[in-house]
Amino acid sequence: MMKKTLYFLLVLFALATMGCDRKPKPAEKQYVSEFDAADMVILDHGDLQFYNAEKQTLTLYEPETDSVVNATYDENNHLYYTVLKDQHLELKWIDLNEKDPQPKHAADWNLTIDQVMNHMTNVVSDLSFDDSQKNVMIWTYTSEESFGFDKVLSYNIDTKQTKALVEDEMWNLSFATNFTDKEDFYTDSANRLYHVTPQGQFCVNDKINFSQWFNEDEVNDVECIVESVSPDLKKVVYSAVLYWGEGWGYYCVADGDGSHQRVLEDSDIWTMAPRWLPDGSLVYVVHVPLATDDPDYVELDHYQDDFIRILTPDGELKTLATSASFAVKPFGFYRTKNKVDILGSDLVILDHGKMVFFNSSTNVFTPFEAEKDSVVNGYFVDDELYYYSVAIGDELYLKRLYLPVTYPVPEMLSPWNLKLDDCISETYGEIAKLFFLSQHYYIGINYHFNWDFYSFDKTRYYDVGMRKLKEESPEEDETDSYDEDFLAWDEDVELFVAEDGQYYYHEDGRKCCLTNKMDFSAYSEEELDPEEREFDFNSIDPLRKSVIFVTLLEWGDLGHGPLCFASMDGATQVSLNDTDAADLKAGWLQDGSLVYVGTEPRPTDDPDYDAEYNNTRPCIKRVTPDGTVSFFYVADSFITK
């Protein structure tokens, strides 16, 4: 009986196993060499030592016999590095995808070692790629009076040419480096560093007693600046910096929920910024004073040894090598951040909280998937900077994007300290728009809806320069120049006049009627005496060939009537009868087209479709300069440049 029972159970187990969908075991990455399998390279007294984090092994790269002074990886598993050869600097590279990788010549830098040596730390400047991954760059000195590197020499891997970057290119480069892996962090006016998550915001530097590391009169001036986030997005490394004199400070690390905060002892902000390995280890350089009996010890010069140290995920510290320079293979960032081209976009569509950039010159829509929070409004400050608000839970936060880079990353600036409901109007349930005060570089948002005014009656500002919120309106300085945009708008109003129930454009002795071809009967069934119409100017297109205005045909608590589009010569006239003055959403594209929120028939298979009460839905439409109206996008919110 026992044998039969056992046999029956074995048969059931076999059948159950055969019936299960077995998931194939993920294939392990196959490496062509120990150099391909390495996670980082260490410059050990001029030698290249490749480090494998999984095996915790160092492997000397013997084919390179010249003295290596700096190095960097690109995203294609190539290592570029500079060697000192016959008293001049040469750029070389290794293709680590090869089974037996050999050094290859790239270019002569035509630089001396002194031109790339930091005179304060005796460390050679970093080698790095720009955001396009086409140019490898080295910082240089051009002046003995300079306290830091002040010029960049660039080598293009496609053209094989070197060039010195001009000032604007250097500014864009330095600006772009501020936007890596920092989207969820901001610093308040007390220099507390916060991490924002859907579960709340957590301070990551409030448990460190900085008075142990800085003098009492210095503590309040310490600034904490995010350097990077760990691969699993659970830890952050930041610098605690005192900008007095030449500046000094330490690197710190903490969990994203504010726990396990620690200063990385013996670290120094003048060394390379710490880097993460794929397993979550953190690699950084430390300075350790030489022992007094060391042959190289000189009391007045305070000579130090440089070590590369690793902080493991469980908090253990290990010394890896005697060196001051290393390079970590890029991982994660280029795979998780979308490579997008949104520079030149002049429209952002908000599609259920997601941003879709549109370029009217190329007619290309580009979804921006790197933003994971719900976007509610935005503002183009210029061609390169775009500011916007997101809702995280019930709270509003201000972010920005730097558009020229290939991998644009959202940067958290500040909480608005406002609930989402604080900025929702009670007329149409819409979120307040962002606006910009160019004289003061303030970003503003209105809040607190007041039925006495049918609008918001309070405003909050974010001072970009001071990085803090302001409640009061900025005082005007008599020395400030007037806002050119506002003046132009003021002057434009005077170019239009209503006469005998029609709207006219007049300038330089010309007078063109803009409404005599319009039929308003589709907007309102009630006939209105033309002389009772009123007109409100809105704006002129960027090419100054067309104008939009509102024709007010009815009055209740607010005026009602359609948005109107006309060429300034009156040849093209269009009444947009699916719009209303009381709830108007319109903006210009750079090609002179108009986009606005109108309506279209709601599909009958739409769950919200009702033949009598809900048979249309909002959508964005586009009006070309010749007056052609067409469907553009199913959404009801957008931001134009």
**Spatial distance between the Cα atoms of 436 and 430, rounded to a whole number of angstroms:** 19
Q: Is residue 435 in a domain?
A: yes
- Domain limit, last residue, from 435, 470, 505: 470
**Spatial distance between the Cα atoms of 597 and 501, rounded to a whole number of angstroms:** 26
pLDDT at 124: 87
Of residues 97 and 529, more confidence is placed in 97
pLDDT, tens digit, for every residue of 81-135?
Answer: 999 988 899 999 999 999 999 999 999 999 989 888 877 677 888 898 887 788 9
Please report, rounded to a whole number, the percentage of residues in the chain having pLDDT higher than 90.
55
Q: Is residue 243 in a domain?
A: no
Q: 271 near 290, Cβ under 8 Å? A: no
Q: Is residue 575 in a domain?
A: yes
pLDDT at 218: 86
Please give the residue range of the domain that contains residue 456: 371-470
pLDDT, tens digit, for every residue of 359-411?
Answer: 999 999 999 998 999 999 999 999 999 999 999 999 999 999 999 888 888 99
| Mean pLDDT, rounded, for 445-466 | 92
Q: Let me know whether 423 and 508 are in one domain.
A: no
- pTM strictly above 0.85: no
Q: Does residue 3 register a pLDDT over 50? A: no
Q: Is residue 282 in a domain?
A: no
Q: Let me know whether 430 and 502 are in one domain.
A: no
Of residues 527 and 308, more confidence is placed in 308
Q: 104 near 92, Cβ under 8 Å? A: yes
- Domain limit, last residue, from 470, 503, 529: 470
Query: Would you list the DSSP string of 15-56?
Result: HHHHHS-PPPPPPPPPPSSHHHH-SEEEEETTEEEEEETTTT
Q: Let me know whether 453 and 519 are in one domain.
A: no
Across the chain, mean pLDDT equals: 86
| Mean pLDDT, rounded, for 541-550 | 95
Q: Let me know whether 455 and 511 are in one domain.
A: no
- Domain limit, last residue, from 470, 504, 524: 470
pLDDT, tens digit, for every residue of 301-323?
Answer: 445 678 899 999 988 999 988 88
pLDDT tier, 537 (very low <50, low <70, confident <90, very high otherwise): very high
**Spatial distance between the Cα atoms of 133 and 339, rounded to a whole number of angstroms:** 12
| 335 sits in which H/E element | helix 333-336
Q: Does residue 172 register a pLDDT over 60? A: yes
For residue 405 the two structure tokens come to 């880079």
Q: 35 near 94, Cβ under 8 Å? A: yes
**Spatial distance between the Cα atoms of 276 and 328, rounded to a whole number of angstroms:** 8
Q: Is residue 22 in a domain?
A: no
pLDDT at 192: 93
pLDDT at 336: 58
Beta bridge pairs of residue 282? 276, 311
Of residues 119 and 221, more confidence is placed in 221
**Spatial distance between the Cα atoms of 123 and 567, rounded to a whole number of angstroms:** 63
Q: Let me know whether 503 and 409 are in one domain.
A: no
**Spatial distance between the Cα atoms of 249 and 612, rounded to a whole number of angstroms:** 68
- Of 319-333, 380-394, 439-453, the poorest mean pLDDT is in 319-333
Q: 551 near 562, Cβ under 8 Å? A: yes
pLDDT tier, 614 (very low <50, low <70, confident <90, very high otherwise): confident
For residue 162 the two structure tokens come to 């070197």
Q: Structurally, how many domains does the chain consist of?
A: 3
pLDDT tier, 483 (very low <50, low <70, confident <90, very high otherwise): very low
pLDDT tier, 475 (very low <50, low <70, confident <90, very high otherwise): low
pLDDT at 302: 47
- Phi, then psi, of 36 in degrees rounded to 5: -65, -35
pLDDT at 479: 38
pLDDT at 304: 62
Q: Provide the CATH number for the domain around residue 153.
A: 2.120.10.30
Q: Residue 250 burial by CB count (10 A; 0-12/13-18/19+): exposed, middle or buried?
A: buried
**Spatial distance between the Cα atoms of 205 and 502, rounded to a whole number of angstroms:** 64
For residue 452 the two structure tokens come to 């006495």
| 447 sits in which H/E element | strand 442-450
Provide the strand spans (E) within 464-607: 468-470, 496-499, 502-507, 510-513, 534-540, 546-552, 554-555, 559-560, 563-567, 573-576, 586-588, 594-601
Q: Let me know whether 447 and 380 are in one domain.
A: yes
Q: Does residue 482 register a pLDDT over 50? A: no
Q: 277 near 320, Cβ under 8 Å? A: no
| Mean pLDDT, rounded, for 537-552 | 94
Q: Let me know whether 502 and 586 are in one domain.
A: yes
pLDDT tier, 6 (very low <50, low <70, confident <90, very high otherwise): very low
Q: Is residue 13 in a domain?
A: no
pLDDT tier, 22 (very low <50, low <70, confident <90, very high otherwise): very low
Q: Is residue 302 in a domain?
A: no
- Of 243-252, 313-322, 353-362, 430-439, the poorest mean pLDDT is in 243-252
Q: Does residue 480 register a pLDDT over 50? A: no
Q: What is the DSSP letter of 472?
A: S
Q: Let me know whether 536 and 594 are in one domain.
A: yes
- Of 25-34, 265-274, 288-297, 459-468, the poorest mean pLDDT is in 288-297
- Write down the number of H helices and E strands in the chain: 5, 50
pLDDT, tens digit, for every residue of 25-37?
Answer: 545 668 899 999 9
pLDDT at 612: 78
Most confident of 9-13, 174-178, 181-185, 507-511: 507-511
Report helix, strand or coil for 549: strand
pLDDT at 486: 39
pLDDT at 557: 76
Q: Let me know whether 598 and 459 are in one domain.
A: no
Q: Is residue 441 in a domain?
A: yes
Q: Let me know whether 151 and 51 are in one domain.
A: yes
Q: Let me know whether 584 and 465 are in one domain.
A: no
Q: Let me know whether 456 and 533 are in one domain.
A: no
